[in-house]
Amino acid sequence: MDRLNDLLNQCAALHQHLCPRQVLGVRMGLLGGQLLGLDLPGTDKRLLTLVELDGCGADGVAVATGCRVGRRTLRVLDYGKTAATFVDTQTGRAVRVRPHPAARERAADYAPEATSRWESYLLGYQRMPDDELLIADEVELAWSLDKILSKHGYRVTCEQCGEEIINEREVYQGEQLLCQTCAGDAYFRRVGSPQAGHAPEPRLGLAL
């Protein structure tokens, strides 16, 4: 419990408050590490975590695991689900952890002093045993782990917009090498004329 409290205090400091979804994120991260036999939070890059929702829960997972977006050990896939998959990059084993469907109802049994449903979730999620709070499944990634991790220093240049692409995220249309934006998978539209300057010549392969 002391370990959990320490992680929750870290999460609260990061978020400037503590909420039930942060508690879930921390508990999910701890269970994922336990099932994979990893000591968390980690300081290396052995664990890769894929979280399926942005916001408070993702911060809880990050604090518990030591995984970070900036270290390329945490990826956010916004499926709108409070769930996360934990991958041991050395063995390839992966487990997906999510809240038990009955966790909300069961939380009140572990927090009789709570004065609201929100408080019963906040307290109950901290006290419930793993098998009542969470469900874990062994899974296999649908994507290549090598492709997710990519190669250090790899970079190419989009042949249409001239912007650099790293981590092997380029795509091909015919023989043309493109970024995903120019290939049609864009989340924005350019407005007006581009800024002055010339795109560099395409570069392929590993950086020197």
| Positive or negative torsion for Cα 23, 28, 33, 34 | positive
Please give the pLDDT value at position 123. 97
Contact 80, 106 (CB under 8 A): no
Q: What is the mean pLDDT of residues 40-49?
A: 94
Please give the pLDDT value at position 195. 60
**What distance lies between CA 115 and its chain's CA centroid?**
33
Contact 81, 106 (CB under 8 A): no
User: If 0-12 CB within 10 Å is exposed, 13-18 middle and 19+ buried, where does residue 39 land?
Assistant: exposed
Q: Which fold has domain 2-147?
A: 60s Ribosomal Protein L30; Chain: A; (3.30.1330)
Q: What is the mean pLDDT of residues 85-111?
A: 97
pTM of this prediction?
0.86
Per-residue pLDDT band for 15 (boundaries 50, 70, 90) equals: confident
- Mean pLDDT of all residues in the chain? 91
How far, in Å, are 29, 98, 106, 157, 159 from residue 201 at the CA level? 44, 46, 60, 8, 8
Where do the structural domains in the chain lie, given as residue ranges?
2-147, 151-208
Of the candidates 134, 140, 157, 115, which has an alpha carbon nearest to the alpha carbon of residue 25?
134
- Beta bridge partners, 138, equal 95
Please give the pLDDT value at position 190. 80
Query: Does 208 have pLDDT greater than 50?
Result: no
